[in-house]
Structure 1
Amino acid sequence: MAPDMTTYLTSDLHLGHLNIIRFCDRPFPGVGAMNARLAELWNETVTPEDTVWVLGDVALGSLDESLAWVGRLAGRKILVPGNHDRCWAGDRALRTGTPEDRARRRAAAHDRYLAAGFAEIRDSPVETVVGGHPVLLSHFPYEGDSHGEDRHVEHRPVDRGGWVVHGHVHTSWRQRGRQVNVGVDAWGGRPVATETVGSLIDEGPRELAPLPWS
């Protein structure tokens, strides 16, 4: 019998990013401990047969060192890039120069993340079904931010009355209305199963605070 397969959602690991520890009050003395604990929590949760949607901001710092952690994470990983990912369509380096230059740099950026261990990269928000509900998977919520003002407004999905599953806001909320934040800072450092997100949607729009770190 084939093993059960689960789909998970997560965001904003910020592997290798020293300042995120202070900014989000993550309980680590440095990036080495943070990276190791994020990988441990991931691999305690996800099996090699599972799929994980990573909704952006996977790695910063020394990118070659930070991205190397992706290959240590279990499951089939699909990236929807965020504003801190070098393969994000809105990255300044991918929006300057001739069309040929932009296409070349974009292909090279994609190849870098694919080589690190992602199976796919989706450049735009993805329409899918979570727990029987149609949702949009996006790095950005419809509105709200972790910096007190809405950044990257031109890259945000349009609110047409549906649900959005997102990252970007770190500790600002776990759920706000029809916005469900699957970032690690809202879920104790772990990816969250689609069944869990579907249960939140079943309960309807409401306000939920982040969970503590595992």
Structure 2
Amino acid sequence: MSNTFFTAGTHFGHRSILSMCRRPFESIEEHDQALTDNWNSVVGPDDTVWHLGDFAYRCSPQRTREIFGELNGVKHLVTGNHDFKNETRKLPWASPTELTEVNLGGQIYVLCHYGLRSWRNMRRGSIQLFGHSHGRLPDTSQCIDVGVDNFDYRPVSLPKFVRA
């Protein structure tokens, strides 16, 4: 049985993200390896991962491809602000998009890199998932930041963040 995971803001290769977000790593190499190991510790080869943007930044094209190839799962991209002018968009994503909706178990999730103020069916129970803010934009009951800075530097599955 496959699972679905969400993540955002990995920023592979981005040295400045360590200090900008106070990530607890001594080097970008340690950061990238820890995020890769964390990803693969929860995501299996047949699982689905929705990456909500900023996969890599200031990472060489070769290294970006290497990291992508090391990560488990069927990977989808919802593009972020750092994904437009680099190797990220050229990777073999199952689906690249800027905004999408997924239905998981009858629950609609609206996926966007950015936290939105309104979205289709928000008054009918849909939940918006986002990244970009690195934990600086508070969640609400309908709008959740699934970025790595909020979830121990790893993708998160539905039971981990869905509120009862």
TM-score interval for Structure 1 and Structure 2 normalised by the shorter chain? 0.7 to 0.9
Aligned alpha-carbon RMSD (Å): 2.2
For residues 18 and 59 of structure 1, what CA distance do their matches in structure 2 show?
11
Counterparts in 2 of 1:87 and 1:196: CA distance versus 1, 3 Å: farther
* Paired residues of 1:130 and 1:195 also in contact (CA < 8 A): no
1:23 aligned residue: 20
Query: What percentage of aligned pairs have identical amino acids?
Result: 31
* Paired residues of 1:130 and 1:194 also in contact (CA < 8 A): no
Q: Which runs of 5+ in 2 are unaligned?
A: none
1:55 aligned residue: 52
Amino acid at match of 2:53: G
Offset, 1:142: 1.1
For residues 149 and 88 of structure 2, what CA distance do their matches in structure 1 show?
26
Amino acid at match of 2:156: V
2:69 aligned residue: 71
* Paired residues of 1:164 and 1:179 also in contact (CA < 8 A): yes
Offset, 1:109: 7.2
2:139 aligned residue: 175
Deviations 1:98-134 (A, max 9, x none): xxxxxxxxxx974x222xxx22212x31112245322
More helix by share: 1
Offset, 1:87: 6.0
Structure with greater Cα Rg: 1
For residues 33 and 21 of structure 1, what CA distance do their matches in structure 2 show?
10
For residues 48 and 41 of structure 1, what CA distance do their matches in structure 2 show?
14
For residues 69 and 8 of structure 1, what CA distance do their matches in structure 2 show?
18
* 1:127 and 2:101 aligned: yes
SS of residue paired to 2:133: coil
What is the total number of aligned residue pairs between the two structures?
160
Counterparts in 2 of 1:173 and 1:130: CA distance versus 1, 3 Å: farther
* Paired residues of 2:56 and 2:88 also in contact (CA < 8 A): no
* 1:196 and 2:164 aligned: no
Q: Which has the higher contact order (CA 8 A, sep 6+)?
A: 2
1:113 aligned residue: 91
Amino acid at match of 2:94: A
TM-score by length of 2: 0.87
2:128 aligned residue: 164
Offset, 1:176: 2.8
